Amino acid sequence: MTITRNDVPGPGTSPVPGRDARDERGQDGKKRAGIGWRVRLRRDRTLIFMTVPALLLVLAFNYLPMFGTVTAFQYYDYIAGFFHSPWAGLDNFRQLFVDPAFWQAFENTLVLSFVQLVLYFPVPIALAIMLNSVLSSKVRSFVQAVVYLPHFFSWVLVITLFQEMLGGAGVFNHFLTTHGMNTWGIMTDPGTFKYLVTAQAVWKEAGWGIIVFLAAIAAIDPTLYEAAAADGAGRWRRMWHITLPGMRGVIVLLLVLRLGSALSVGFEQFIIQRYAVGSNAAEVLDTYSYYYGVVANNFGLGAAAGLFKAVVSLVLILAANKLAHYFGEDGLYRGKS
Amino acid sequence: MATGGRSIPAFPASGVSRRNVLRTTALGAGAAAFGVPLLSACGGSSSANGGVSASGLKSSLPDYVPLTGGVTPDIPSVAGVHGAVTDAGYLSYPTNLVKSVSEVPGSGGSYTGVTPLWGSIPTAGNGYYQAVNKALGANVTMTPANGATYNTAVPTLVAGNKLPDWIQLPTWWNSTFNVGELAASKFADLTPYLSGSNIRKYPNLAAIPTGGWQVGAWEGKLYGIPSFTSGQAFAGVLFYRQDIFESKGINPDDVKTADDLYSLGAELTAPKAGVWAFDVLSLMTTQIFNVPFGMFHAVNGKLQFVCDTEENLASLEYCYKLAKSGYVHPDALAGNTNNAGQRFYSGKELVGSGGTGAWNVMDAQQGQAANPKYKRGAFKLFSNDGSTPTIGLGAATSEVSYLNKSLSKSQIEECLRIANYLAAPFGSYEYTLINYGVEGTDWTTGKGGPTYTSTGQKEANEDTYQFLCSPQNAVSNPGYSDITTAYCAWSAEAVKYAYKPLFADFNISVPTRFATAAAAAELTDVTTQISYGTKTMSDYAAAVKSWKAGGGNALLAWYQTNVYDKYGAGQ
C-alpha cells in the first residue's frame, strides 16, 4: 500500500503520532480512567499492531528460552533433553552454594562491578561535557570518531594490544629491561587485575558511552545558558547549575540499568585473561557458568548459577529503581500512583 | 607448539597433534584429568549404569586384512614395546598413482557431514568439494565447524535434534559428549556391516588396524569409523629450534634430566633481546616425570588416584617452578596460546611442547617465512632423574566418526563404501585426490611431490573428508624429506619406551551420577593454572580433596568393582 498523506488518520479518529504521554496520563490519571479499554483498543489499534513484531521477538528470544531454566532443577542430560532428564530438586543449588569457586566468582563479580561503577561510570559523562565545550565542529567530530573507534574492536584485539604494550614482553617492559630496571607484570598481577580490566573497559567503551550523554546535553535549552551567562555565571557554574542538572535524568536512568546488570561484568574479557591472572581474580559468574556448567557438561549447575544471578539482578534493579524514585527521578518505570 | 597443529594431509598423526593442541589449551595438560582412556559419562536407558566396550567386543571386531602391493615405504615401520609401532615413512611421493577403488562408491545419495577444523574454514561448495563428491558419486555436504568450540557446539546440535548424517567426535571429548549414550541412542550400529569377515567387502576399511575400530566400539558393538589410525599415538613432543641450537653450539642430547632442562632455560633466556627459553611445557612434563597416563593406576590389584602420585605432584611442582623461573615467555604465561607458533617461528621462544603433527611441511614453510634457516627439532625422550624414560601410548586414533541412526540400511552401506574410498592408502589416486585435490587446479608436481596451488591452499589443505575416514597413517612430507627422516628417527626411539596405560583397550561409560566427577573440570582447571603460575600446590591439594569428596572417591570405587575387577586392566 502506498502511504499518502490521506492515509494518515485524522486527529478525530485515531492517535496522532506526536501525541505525548503527558496527554494520556493527564494531570492525575482521571482522563485515562474515563475511556474504556475497548475504546482505547480501537483507537490505538494501529500502534498496537505496530508493536506486534517486536513483541513476537521478545517472546521468541526472551521469554521462550526462559523455559530452559528448568535445567537448573534437573540432572540435565543433553541427549535425553528437558523432558527425559531426571529431576534434581534443589540439588544443583546445594552443590552451587557449597562450592567455594562459586562464591569466589560471586565476590569477584561484585568487586569488579563496584570498581567499574566508581572508576568507569563517570568517565563518559566527563568526556561528553568536555566534548560539548569544544566549539570547532571539525575538531569535535574528529575527537568523537577517535574515541568511538575502540568500541568496534573485539576484546581479543583490545587485550592483545594491552599485552603488546604492557605485557611482560611488551613495549613498556622492554623499555624497563633495556634501561636496567625491574619489569612490572601489569598484565599478570592478580591484585591489580580489577583496575586493569577497568582501564581496558574505559579505553574500549568510554567513547561509545558518551553518545547518550551528548544527546542529553543537546536537549538542554540553550536560552538557560544565555540567561546564566547574562547573569554573570562562569563556565563552572554553568556546568554545575545547568548542564549536570539537565543530564540528571539520563544519568540516574543509566545508573539504574547498570545496577541491574551489576552481575554481568562481561565474559570475553575475562575468559581471555583468565589464565594470565588465575581464576581467583578473573573468575566472574558468567565464566563460572561456562567452565563448570558448559565445559564440564554439568548444565544443571551452570543453569543454577545463571538463575541465581538473574534473581539477584532482579532484586538489584528493583532496589535501584526505588532509589531513583527517592531522588525524584523516573528511573526505569513507575507503578500506578 | 600449540598452534602448529594445522597439518597438511598425508602427515601422520595429525589427529594426535590436534588432540594435543586442545590438551594444552582448552583442557590443560593435567595428568589427573586427561587421558582417561575413552571414558564417557553415560545416562541413557540402555546404559544408565555404565558399561565397558570390552564386554562381547571380541566377536564384533572386524578382521584386519592389510593391503598387498601399494607403495613400498622408504622407512619401514619399526615395532617397539607394548604394541607401539611407528608409522611408515615415504621420502618421495609416488608418481604413478594407482587406483585402489575400482567402482564409483556412491549411488547418488545426499549426506551431511560435520567435522571439527582447526584452521580457516574453506568456502562451501568449492571446487575441491565438487571434485571429491563427483568421484564419490554422492553429494556429501561437508560443514566443518570451529574445532576450538566444537565441545560446546556438539551438545547443542544433539539437544536441538540437528545431528547430521555423519559426524566426527574427537575422542578426548568422549566424556563431555557422553558418546557411550549417544552411540546407543543416536548413532547407527555398524556391527552387522563390519564385524568379522563382513568388513572384507570394504578392503580399505579392512586394512585399518584393529586398534582403530576398538576406539569406536561401545558396549560390545561397533559404532565408530576411525581416522588417522596409528600405532604411535603419543601425547606430544618436546620441540626446540634446531637452527638456533646449532648456531649456539648447544647439543640437545645433553639434556638428560629435568634439571638439565631448567638450566638450559637460564642459558637461553635473554629478555633484553626479547628471547625466552620456554613456552608452557606442561604437556611434556607429565612424560618427563613419568606420570601415569589417565585418572587411575593399579597398584597390587587396587586402583589408586593418579593425582596423588609422587610423579604427578613432582611434575606439577616443576611446572610451577618453571612458571616462576622467568624462563617462560611472558605472553605464554599470560595464557596466549594463539601466538605460540609465531613466537617459536620468530625465535622469541626456543623450546615448546606440542603434538607430533606440528612437525610437517606447513610448519617448515611458515617457519621459513619468518626465518629462512628455521628448523624444528625434537628432544629425545628423557626422564626427570636421568633414568630410562617412559611414554604413554594413546589409543590408536583420536578421531572417530559416527553415522546417524536414522539412515536406512542401503544408505549406511553407501556411506561405508564412501568411507572405503576415503580410506584409500597413501600414494593411491584416491588418496591424492582427497588430500591434495585436483591436479592442475589444487596442486602441481613440485620438488618431491604434490605442492598446493593457491586455490589448493584454500580449499584442499584442511582436513575435511579425512575426518570422516582416512587410512592408517603414513609419514610423507613432499619436498621436505628431512622432516620425514627426523620424525621417523624420533618415533623409532620413542616406541622403545612406550607403555600401555590402564584401560587403554576399553571404552568405558560411567553412570550418569559420576559424569561431573569423571569430567574433573576443577582439577584440570587448577592444573592448567599451576603451569601458568597462578595457582599453587596447596590450591591443588584443596581441589583434589573437594573433587574426591564430590564424587572422585565414588568414581574410583565404581571403576574398581565394575571395570577392573570384572574386565582387568585392559592393557
Q: Which residues of A touch B513 (CB under 8 A)?
A: 75
Hey, what's the cell of A66? Answer: 526462559
Of A167, A291, A295, the CB nearest to B330: A167
What is the distance between the alpha carbons of residues B142 and B430, in angstroms, rounded to a whole number? 18
Hey, what's the cell of B397? Answer: 586414533
Is residue B435 predicted with pLDDT exceeding 50?
Answer: yes
Q: Per-residue DSSP letters for A160-218?
A: HHHHHHHSTTSHHHHHHHHTT-----GGG-STTHHHHHHHHHHHHHHHHHHHHHHHHHH
When pLDDT is averaged across residues B216-229 and rounded to a whole number, the result is 93
Q: Are A85 and B181 in contact (CB under 8 A)?
A: no
Q: Which residues of A touch B525 (CB under 8 A)?
A: 279, 291
Cβ within 8 Å, pair B331-A185? no
Q: Which of B154, B186, B184 is nearest to B168 (CA)?
A: B154
Q: Which residues of A touch B175 (CB under 8 A)?
A: 297
- Name the pairing type of β-strands B391-392 and B449-452: unpaired
What is the distance between the alpha carbons of residues B337 and B17, in angstroms, rounded to a whole number? 15
Q: Do domains B55-233+396-488 and B237-289+305-388 have the same CATH topology?
A: yes
Q: Which of B231, B235, B187, B186 is nearest to B208 (CA)?
A: B231
Would you give the distance in Å from CA A199 to the centre of its chain? Answer: 17
Lowest-confidence segment of A1-5, B15-19, B263-267, B280-284 by average pLDDT: B15-19
Max distance between CA atoms of chain B, in angstroms, equals 66
Q: Which of B522, B508, B519 is nearest to B558 (CA)?
A: B508
**Geometric angle at alpha carbon B158, from A76 and A292, rounded to 5°:** 45
pLDDT for position A34: 66
Instruction: Compute the nearest-CA separation of A174 from chain B (Å).
Output: 7
Chain B: residue nearest A191 by CA? B534
Helix/strand/coil (H/E/C) assignment for every residue in A234-299: CHHHHHHHHHHHHHHHHHHHHHHHHHHCCCCCCCHHHHHHHHHHCHHHHCCHHHHHHHHHHHCCCH
**Domains of chain A and any CATH numbers:** 5-63 (no CATH), 94-326 (1.10.3720.10)
Interface of B with A (CB under 8 A): 26, 41, 43-44, 151-152, 155, 158-159, 175-178, 181-182, 185-186, 271-272, 274, 276, 329-331, 333-336, 348, 512-513, 515-516, 519, 521-522, 525, 528-529, 532, 534-535, 546, 550
pLDDT for position A203: 94
Percent of the residues in chain B that have a pLDDT greater than 90, as a whole number: 70
Q: Are B544 and B307 in contact (CB under 8 A)?
A: yes
CA torsion sign for B79, B80, B86, B90 is: negative
pLDDT for position B55: 64
Look up residue B395 and give its DSSP letter: P
Instruction: Compute the nearest-CA separation of A197 from chain B (Å).
Output: 14
Cβ within 8 Å, pair B152-A291? no
Tens of pLDDT, residues B83-115: 899 999 999 999 888 999 999 999 999 999 999
Cβ within 8 Å, pair A298-B521? yes
Q: Which residues of A touch B331 (CB under 8 A)?
A: 163, 167-169
Of A169, A177, A275, the CB nearest to B335: A275
Domain B55-233+396-488 has CATH 3.30.390.50: no
What is the distance between the alpha carbons of residues B387 and B289, in angstroms, rounded to a whole number? 10
Tens of pLDDT, residues B386-416: 999 999 998 999 999 999 999 999 999 999 9
pLDDT for position B50: 67
Cβ within 8 Å, pair B534-A174? no
pLDDT for position A234: 85
Hey, what's the cell of B279? Answer: 613456552
Percent of the residues in chain B that have a pLDDT greater than 70, as a whole number: 91
Instruction: Compute the nearest-CA separation of B164 from chain A (Å).
Output: 15
Q: Which of B556, B210, B567 is nearest to B395 (CA)?
A: B210
- Scanning B137-234, the segments in alpha helix (DSSP H) are 150-159, 174-177, 179-186, 191-194, 203-206, 210-215
Q: How is chain B split into domains, by residue range?
A: 55-233+396-488, 237-289+305-388
Residues in chain B: 571
What is the distance between the alpha carbons of residues A78 and B42, in angstroms, rounded to a whole number? 11
Q: Per-residue DSSP letters for A33-64?
A: HHS-HHHHHHHTHHHHHHHHHHHHHHIIIIIG
pLDDT for position A185: 85
Cβ within 8 Å, pair B512-A75? yes
Instruction: Compute the nearest-CA separation of A111 from chain B (Å).
Output: 19
- Name the pairing type of β-strands B449-452 and B443-446: antiparallel
Q: What is the CA radius of gyration of chain A?
A: 26
What is the distance between the alpha carbons of residues B487 and B394, in angstroms, rounded to a whole number? 18
Q: Which residues of A touch B335 (CB under 8 A)?
A: 272-276
Cβ within 8 Å, pair B41-A297? yes
Hey, what's the cell of B5? Answer: 597443529
What is the distance between the alpha carbons of residues A252 and A250, in angstroms, rounded to a whole number? 5
Mutual angle of helices B537-547 and B521-531, in 10-degree steps: 170
Q: Are A79 and B178 in contact (CB under 8 A)?
A: yes
pLDDT for position B1: 31
pLDDT for position A29: 45
When pLDDT is averaged across residues B268-278 and rounded to a whole number, the result is 94
Q: Around B136, how many Cα atoms within 13 Å sit in the side-chain half-sphere?
A: 29
Cβ within 8 Å, pair A79-B515? no
What is the distance between the alpha carbons of residues B215 and B231, in angstroms, rounded to a whole number? 13
Strand order in the sheet with B51-52: B39-42, B508-511, B51-52
Fold classified for B237-289+305-388:
D-Maltodextrin-Binding Protein; domain 2 (3.40.190)
Cβ within 8 Å, pair B535-A278? yes
Torsion angle of the four alpha carbons B331, B335, B338, B342, in this order, in degrees rounded to the nearest 10: 20
pTM greater than the 0.90 cutoff: no
Helices vs. strands in chain A: H and E counts, helices first: 18, 0
Per-residue pLDDT of chain A (337 residues; tens, 9 = 90+): 344 444 444 444 444 444 444 444 444 444 455 678 888 888 899 999 999 999 999 999 999 988 889 999 988 888 888 888 889 899 899 989 988 889 999 999 999 999 999 999 999 999 999 888 887 889 989 998 999 999 999 999 999 999 999 988 889 998 998 888 888 888 888 889 999 999 999 999 999 989 889 999 988 988 998 899 888 888 888 888 888 998 988 888 888 888 888 888 889 999 999 888 888 899 999 999 998 888 877 889 999 999 999 999 999 888 888 888 887 777 777 765 4
Q: Which residues of B touch A167 (CB under 8 A)?
A: 330-331, 334
Q: Are B117 and B462 in contact (CB under 8 A)?
A: yes
Cβ within 8 Å, pair A278-B529? yes
pLDDT for position B448: 83
Of A101, A169, A183, the CB nearest to B274: A169
Tens of pLDDT, residues B486-495: 999 999 999 9
Q: Which of A59, A96, A1 is nearest to A307 (CA)?
A: A96
What is the distance between the alpha carbons of residues A300 and B511, in angstroms, rounded to a whole number? 16
pLDDT for position B460: 92
Q: What is the CA radius of gyration of chain B?
A: 23
Of B155, B329, B550, the CB nearest to A78: B155
Interface of A with B (CB under 8 A): 75, 77-81, 86, 95, 100-101, 160, 163, 167-170, 173-174, 177-178, 183, 185, 187-188, 190, 272-280, 291-292, 294-298, 301
Q: Which of A187, A197, A189 is nearest to A167 (CA)?
A: A187
| ipTM, interface predicted TM-score of the complex | 0.77
Tens of pLDDT, residues B439-479: 999 999 988 889 999 999 899 988 999 999 999 999 999 99
pLDDT for position A255: 85
